[in-house]
Structure 1
Amino acid sequence: MTKRHPGFKTVETLKHEDATRKNIPTVEYQSVMQKNEQDPIRVAYERRNRDLDPQLVWRGKDEQDWSDLVVQAPPLYIQEKVHPKALINDLLRATKEREHEAGTLTPDLFADFNGIPKGADKTEFYQHDQNWSNRMILGDSLQVMASLAEREGLRGKVQCIYFDPPYGITFNSNFQWSTTSKKVDDGRIDHITREPEQVKAFRDTWRDGIHSYLTYLRDRLTVARDLLTESGSIFVQIGDENVHRIRAVMDEVFGPNNAGDLLLVKKKGGQKGRFPEAVNDYILWFFKSKQNAKTKQLYEEFLDESEIARDFRFVRLPSGQDTSIAEIARLEGNASLLKTKPLLLQRERGCSLFKSENSTSGGYRKNQSIIFDYQGRLFDPGLKKGNCWKHTAVDTDVELSGMRRLAIANRLYIGKNQIGLVRHFSDFGLQPISNWWDGFGGAPDQVYVVQTNERIVERCLLLATDPGDLVIDPTCGSGTTATVAEQWGRRWITIDTSRVALALARARIMGARYPFFILADSREGQLKEAGVSSTAPSSQPVRGNIRHGFVYQRRAHITSAVVANNAEIDVIWNKWQAILEPLREKLNTALKKQWQEWEIPRATDKAWPGPALSLHGDWWQQRIARQKEIDASIAAKADHEYLYDKPYPDNKKVRVAGPFTVESLSPHRMLGVDENDELIDTLKQDSADYSAKQSFPQMILENLKTAGVQQAHKEDKITFTALAPWPGYLVCAEGRYQEGDAESGSEKRAAIFIGPEYGTVQRADLVSAAREAGDGGFDVLIACAFNYEAHATEFSKLGRIPVLKARMNADLHMAEDLKNTGKGNLFVIFGEPDITLLPEKDGRLRVKVNGVDVFKPQTGEVISHGADGIACWFVDTDYNEESFFVRHAYFLGANDPYSALKMTLKAEIDPEAWATLNSDTSRPFDKPKSGRIAVKVINHLGDEVMKVFRVN
């Protein structure tokens, strides 16, 4: 037996045990939902009061303001349940098997994924709370956010929203067409996304250019505001092209009094062309209620020492004398060195850099609005201007005033006409972050065309949230917000209309490695806190509650208040006065002087008599000793600032993402249906032309009659001899075609079912349409849709009715935008994945993915690829027909989402186990107790297909 090394890392995840979410249906349960639960809910949001403040006006806004904003809130359906730790546990188990270790059974982390109360009906949706899991949702963010608020009770529950909308209104630049390439060339037709959700987002949003863009943002900001807690924040990242317009819209939605700082993020430098180049993006920070807002103070190091030299211009020498960097540089002739490396004075010469800060503040206060006597001079805080000292200036019989303690501690500096408060660089050494954020640049290891640097999102979340708080990102992209929220222990929901974006984000989070920060509510946290704060460890019981936060690094912070309120200085002063005063009097007698303490020079004169030299040396020795004791007392009583961006990690543990679900809106989300159940036409809406338009079904039928349906093989094309409307509920046309050759073949009747223009056809839709086709006496059902949900893949027949699933070329609903795409098959049968079950000698099973028929949207062809066309594929090794659990995950693309974890866990998981993640053949697994396994395959365009196998 191989012995495990004691230094091996354990794999952990964070749990949000106090948080819950509503029990929502999985896609498998859609057919058993109540009818009223399946239908979208109309949610109305009140428009602003136009009399409140100035507003930005754009085309169509007046008409919109006549009524409330009404949003359809359809239900959300869970497509997948993912637990990254379960995937790593399986690799650890495989490694142990190869090392011939005792085969310990790893717990089934999916067994209590939901945590629905015992005895509760799983199909009573929205009625029960269950375990929290983070969420990745495909759909229009407007409808998703409305659904979260109205159906799931998240109104007023979200702490932070990070919104990174398109910076402008150019279609190509905002959407990535494939997981394999983040290059998007403007004007290249083959680089324009064909995803229906994205096309709809483009059509709905930018039809009227900037006018539609502003409507898009105002609608989403209105719904987002409804989700925020009273202490919540929203950050909107935008470029210089539209920042002024978006600021006006946010003033309107949130109110100008709820505006935070405008944050400037430097992205690049240099000048190209005639005009200075914009070097920064902007982040607009608004609050639900500024008065109640939750904010955290963050600090940063000085970017370079030249900043320190500009701020901390003065120098206190070891002798106690004060001078300046400029004066030392002048005397030594090395100005450039000291102005760029001022800390050399501290490190090599024992000096202390300091600056003089304002010692006064506004207002009248009895013990602070007074003339102050310091070093024989009288200083006025500005009484005539209504100013006073920042600290008390009147001594009492019991204690010294705050200003007197500052004077005793040598913390006052006489400037030109006023005294200032001395702040040493070593008092803190950090600076509060400002609204100018430098040093970030673009995102490293970029996988998405418009990916944000993680550190930018990180800083925003740390400013406005605590561990356990809920964060929403309405524009997921590559999943940066979700990744950052996961790293810092925040709950997250991320939304996108792009299947490509969600495919990249899902892989990124599944393979991410995070540090395991020590929880404050843990025994390790209690011990760490005791060590850091030099106190006895707490004996309170612990629960591992993440809402208590982490154990953070902290930095001593000496402020003027720390000195002014330190009563110990009085004691130290009196003790040393009994020693120093007799020496001063003897020195004055020896030299026939009347020196006060501040007048005694540091240097001696050769003409002084020997006793005076001795007295002078003794006095300064005691004077320096007094200063050291006062400084030590101040340091001991210093405040401590928590560094919320620097929690202590447990290096013996590595953390992976917590459980999350992949969800989508119901098929109702995009159906263009009015109150009379008639299809609403949106095909050729134009910004300036509102002439009569052709209906979507009519256009599809005309193209279907002309183009026919191309099956996987070229020779299997279906060409219709006739195509006529049919008065059905789902079946809208009857098609006739010749099966076989013209002479001996027979005529067949095909029922035509057309899916939504901007949406996905579900399995339940196909079942209903096939049943209707059987009732109508048809020979075959031909479904035409832009996308099919994964569960529809295996549905190919209902009784005697074959079901052909034709993928429509997206050019059909992009006629205005893609006039020059060239000819191609408009209706193509989308093939199933080619999957083989491989039995093992020990009774276990493997799954091999041989390939999948890939629909090529640029040409409308079906290309039979091997595994090369697959971005990733998942296996539920015990599919219960209630939920798809990702128990095995394999990534065949060029990007390796597990690269960071491989480096961290190279001792725990052997290379052979890691290699299986990039394979078309699964690791072996036990036969399922349910008798079924499910395999889901996702290609690089984000299309998903799923196949279920029964295993005897």
Structure 2
Amino acid sequence: MAKSKSPTPHALTVAAFKHDEAKRTNIPTAEYQSVMREADQKPIPVSYPRHPDADPLTEEKARRNRDLDPQLVWRGKDQQDWSDLVVHAPPLYIQEKVHPKALIDDLLHQSAPASPSGGEQLDFFADFNGLPEDAERTDFYQHAGHWSNRMILGDSLQVMASLAEREGLRGKVQCIYLDPPYGIKFNSNFQWSTTSRDVKDGNPDHITREPEQVKAFRDTWRDGIHSYLTYLRDRLTVARDLLTESGSIFVQIGDENVHRVRAVMDEVFGQDNFMSLIAFLKTSSSTTNALASTSDYLVWYTRDKTRTKFRAPTITKVLSGVGGGEYRSVMLPSGETRRLIDDEVAAPHTLPENSRVFRLDTVTSQSPGSKYTVEIAGRRFFPSGYWKTEEPSMKRLIRAGRIVPRSNSLGYLRFFDDYGALVLSNTWTDTQIAGRPGDKIYVVQTLPKVIQRCLLMSTDPGDLVLDPTCGSGTTAYVAEQWGRRWITIDTSRVALALARARLMGARYPYYLLADSRAGQLKEAEITQSAPSTRPTDGHIGHGFVYERVPHITLKSIANNAEIDVIWDKWQETLEPLRARLNQLLAQTWEEWEIPREAGPDWPDPATQAHAQWWQARIARQREIDASIAAKADFESLYDKPYEDKKTVRVAGPFTVESLSPHRVLGLDENDDLIDPVAEPKDGYGEKRDFVAIILENLKTAGVQQAHKTDRIAFTSLTPWPGRIVCAEGRFSGDQWPLAEDATTEKRAAIFIGPEFGTVSRPDLVEAACEAGDAGFDLLIACAFNYDAHSSEFDKLGRIPVLKARMNADLHMAEDLKNTGKGNLFVVFGEPDIEIQPVDGELIRVKVNGVDVFHPSTGEVRSDGAEGIACWFIDTDYNQEAFFVRHAYFLGTNDPYKSLKTTLKAEIDLDAWASLHSDTSRPFPKPASGRIAVKVINHLGDEVMKVFRIG
């Protein structure tokens, strides 16, 4: 684990956790897509048996009688059960490699120019490699390299299938946290821009136009709750396949569908694997005429309940709050007891030193056990039920001072500090307060405390956590904090843009690793033993060094034989003193009858003997209490690892990935491959020709170019029998500014992208080649989205390429269509980027603006830098992968706010200010001769340009 060099001897160190013991399959980057084997590029159909007899992995399902066991039935379920669930597993492509520590170290170097330069970043980006020496980087799916966490754009169903089938993660995920839409409304689950969380159902301006999101709405919910249940069951089925035998899945849901989710999960996981239904308070409730809904729910199932990994969640007891309600008595240092007053409950520190707060608990049980007569303080007690312990152990408890007579029963004296923690039940009432650090950035953002408890209950450091519904990235944020590996998935570019920024600027405590020298020394300090001499490797899988609390139980006291030894030792002192006191006062007092205070008329020898007896009596109790504490079990507080206060931690390396953009997203709601020219309309049998609809609109509307006055109006548009080119469009040459001869008619090859998906650079290359072979003058590509690598592709040989964005109204449901705008096909320009020379061999990049396509209006607006959410530079682009070496955030949210406060002494204000700028910090000219600049707008759209640097 590398730590950055400190600029000053007393400066904070910046570090990041790495998972050296874990590996991940070598998958292609977007740059390598065109050189992949054709077999690797094709989606792999993966079958998931629905019937228990065909699924050898689910013995608990095989024991069920499907005809007799109650189950939830919805429209279409019987037909679905006639065959297996088949999911098409596409390849995943790495779009970006991000190492937040490299970004912070670059700022440290800017603030301390004398320190080593940015060349040190090469070591950071080596963290993404780790392939065997004899392995080629293009041997995809053949080797494993260093682990890096993952943020993936795409349908979670296909992504999970790909992870299982292509990358060998079947049975490797320890915890899955699934936060599906709570109901079947659209806007309540999707956010349309990084700049606004204000989304309202019924407002057409607030409806996302992202193709993947539109498909999620139209294809998934078009049959209402029936489609919703199919959506859930399919994803739960695939998710179950990823879980380890000891793994857990938590589904967060509201009261609207919690009962349905429970029934579906009974079917998928088996009712024997149900763990708990957890209710937790949320931050707000919606206005209603009935009772306000203030809680959401976690439905917790496991892969195999008998093997489940479980760490009981605890919180610290507070006398005046949680866990302290019944502790209302105090034992003073003298051994006297009394009730607490209200002021002492509110301020326990005002009690005399060495006082111990306690309550009386029951010492009987209704479960069959022992029955015998107990003699104590001259009284005899017989249980109404059964004693909790055997007779010899009961005598030991009496000697320890833990059994107290009541009026007609016995009580067990339980001190407040016997166990300083409280094991939580399945009702969490403390999640409403202080649950979310900072401002909420996403419309359906989950409380970190809720996810934190789930992960700490069911995983250990180094375990793998999966979130198929990324949202603002809270699961990834929490998993990173607690040293878990993570994979998070979402269909929304907006969500991933927010999550990426959140992780890149996150600040975490640096927890002491058990497998480190500092951790060994801390462990020795806690246990008061000699430090271990075992060599350390810094493996996070060994866990952290945790705070711990003693857990004194009735059983541990009853089994502590040392109490008898201490008792017998002190009896040799106490009995002679008691006999002398009785002799001097002519009494026959037993131990429990000796008064606390000496009488005013007692002779001095009796007063002296009385004082000596009580001193010995108190000393005996203290020694017994010390023995009880020493022999007690200690329990680790998994939410309280020890910190290294001199080290600040940032997120570890992660990649941003996407599905194969041009092939895989064209799947229907049943995950069957869509025929691109004949898809069922609204799912009820009538065929609609998507390409014919696009061509009909294209002929009518034409293509609007970047300037409002430039529009290509077709004189004819006819089908073309090409493999990719689907139509021939003819128009007058004077409508095209780039035409060499404006008097002649031009022939344009028309390429229509997928209805649900993204067009990539290889698609454009293939279409341009076909257009050139057929003698066309130019290629016009029409698509809902283009990937970042296609943005700079505008010509192939003599064939110019116009990339037109289609208005999302062309494929949205009826309630989303009428925007009143006619720009259905719009060509928009590239970002305006300058490369500026600086003194010597340094250069810098300036982003002047970007053309932003607004799908809600169908217009292109040329924005300045204010239209950019963030932009990244790979300052030494090797054409094999995009490394984020510089990152700049121009939006209103500052992801580095907390780091800026923590590292204010190490990084000066000018360096921090450079992160919120349209001009980059100077950097050396690249050894590769190229840099790449990626610009992301507030709608999540990405464009990338590559520049050659001489």
Report if aligned partners of 1:672, 1:757 keep a CA contact under 8 Å in 2: no
- Residues 276 and 780 of structure 1, relative CA distance in 2, 3 Å threshold: same
- Corresponding residue for 1:115? 130
Letter in 2 for 1:412: I
Report if aligned partners of 2:323, 2:422 keep a CA contact under 8 Å in 1: no
Deviation at 1:317, TM superposition (A): 4.0
The equivalences for 1:748-767 within 5 A come to 748-767=746-765
- Corresponding residue for 1:332? none
Deviation at 1:864, TM superposition (A): 1.2
Alignment partners' CA distance in 1, 2:286 and 2:855: 40
Letter in 1 for 2:44: I
Alignment partners' CA distance in 2, 1:94 and 1:788: 35
Deviation at 1:353, TM superposition (A): 2.1
The equivalences for 1:236-635 within 5 A come to 236-268=251-283, 274-302=289-317, 305=320, 307=322, 310-325=325-340, 337=343, 341=346, 343=348, 347-348=351-352, 351-360=355-364, 370-381=372-383, 387-390=386-389, 392-394=390-392, 402-441=393-432, 443=436, 444-606=438-600, 611-635=605-629
Deviation at 1:505, TM superposition (A): 0.5
Report if aligned partners of 2:666, 2:674 keep a CA contact under 8 Å in 1: no
CA-to-partner distance for each residue in 1:676-717, whole Å, 9 max, x for gaps?
A: 98426447406xxx2523221111111111111101011211
Mean CA deviation greater in 3-12 or 542-551: 3-12
- Corresponding residue for 2:147? 132
- Indicate which of 26, 32, 48 corresponds to 1:45: 48
- Corresponding residue for 1:902? 900
Instruction: Count how many residue pairs are aligned between Structure 1 and Structure 2.
Output: 922
Mean CA deviation greater in 527-536 or 491-500: 527-536
Deviation at 1:642, TM superposition (A): 0.8
The equivalences for 1:798-947 within 5 A come to 798-947=796-945
Structure 2 portions without partners, runs of 5+: 53-63
Deviation at 1:380, TM superposition (A): 3.9
SS of structure 2 residue aligned to 1:506: helix
- Corresponding residue for 1:10? 13
Report if aligned partners of 2:7, 2:115 keep a CA contact under 8 Å in 1: no
- Residues 246 and 420 of structure 1, relative CA distance in 2, 3 Å threshold: same
- Corresponding residue for 1:217? 232
Alignment partners' CA distance in 2, 1:3 and 1:445: 31
Report if aligned partners of 1:781, 1:801 keep a CA contact under 8 Å in 2: yes
Letter in 1 for 2:85: L
SS of structure 2 residue aligned to 1:481: helix
CA-to-partner distance for each residue in 1:366-386, whole Å, 9 max, x for gaps?
A: xx564443334444456xx6x
**Scaled by the length of structure 2, what TM-score is found?**
0.93
Report if aligned partners of 1:477, 1:505 keep a CA contact under 8 Å in 2: yes
Alignment partners' CA distance in 1, 2:201 and 2:286: 23
- Residues 715 and 649 of structure 1, relative CA distance in 2, 3 Å threshold: same
Structure 1 portions without partners, runs of 5+: 330-335, 395-401
- Corresponding residue for 2:60? none
- Corresponding residue for 2:650? 656
CA-to-partner distance for each residue in 1:263-322, whole Å, 9 max, x for gaps?
A: 111124789665321211111111111110111123212366155553224433444244
Alignment partners' CA distance in 2, 1:702 and 1:515: 59
Report if aligned partners of 2:749, 2:776 keep a CA contact under 8 Å in 1: yes
- Corresponding residue for 2:91? 75
- Residues 705 and 308 of structure 1, relative CA distance in 2, 3 Å threshold: closer
Report if aligned partners of 1:681, 1:694 keep a CA contact under 8 Å in 2: yes
RMSD over aligned CA atoms reads 2.4
Alignment partners' CA distance in 1, 2:6 and 2:77: 71
Alignment partners' CA distance in 2, 1:47 and 1:741: 57
- Residues 714 and 554 of structure 1, relative CA distance in 2, 3 Å threshold: same
Alignment partners' CA distance in 2, 1:45 and 1:876: 41
- Corresponding residue for 1:86? 102
Report if aligned partners of 1:672, 1:681 keep a CA contact under 8 Å in 2: no
Taking only the aligned residue pairs, the percentage that are identical comes to: 63
- Residues 288 and 930 of structure 1, relative CA distance in 2, 3 Å threshold: same
- Residues 891 and 708 of structure 1, relative CA distance in 2, 3 Å threshold: same
Deviation at 1:589, TM superposition (A): 3.5
CA-to-partner distance for each residue in 1:822-849, whole Å, 9 max, x for gaps?
A: 1230001131111111122302211111
- Residues 369 and 127 of structure 1, relative CA distance in 2, 3 Å threshold: farther
Alignment partners' CA distance in 1, 2:49 and 2:117: 61
Alignment partners' CA distance in 1, 2:883 and 2:600: 90
The equivalences for 1:687-698 within 5 A come to 690-698=684-692
- Residues 941 and 894 of structure 1, relative CA distance in 2, 3 Å threshold: same
- Corresponding position: 1:96 with 2:112: yes
- Corresponding residue for 2:59? none
Alignment partners' CA distance in 1, 2:331 and 2:503: 51
- Corresponding residue for 1:671? 666
SS of structure 1 residue aligned to 2:629: helix
Alignment partners' CA distance in 2, 1:12 and 1:463: 26
- Corresponding residue for 1:55? 71
Alignment partners' CA distance in 2, 1:577 and 1:496: 71
SS of structure 2 residue aligned to 1:233: strand
Letter in 1 for 2:227: S
Alignment partners' CA distance in 1, 2:815 and 2:600: 94
- Corresponding residue for 2:57? none
Report if aligned partners of 1:530, 1:537 keep a CA contact under 8 Å in 2: yes
Deviation at 1:170, TM superposition (A): 0.7
Alignment partners' CA distance in 1, 2:631 and 2:815: 68
Alignment partners' CA distance in 2, 1:343 and 1:206: 56
Letter in 2 for 1:343: P
Alignment partners' CA distance in 1, 2:891 and 2:327: 53
Letter in 2 for 1:88: I
- Corresponding residue for 1:333? none
Report if aligned partners of 1:234, 1:286 keep a CA contact under 8 Å in 2: yes
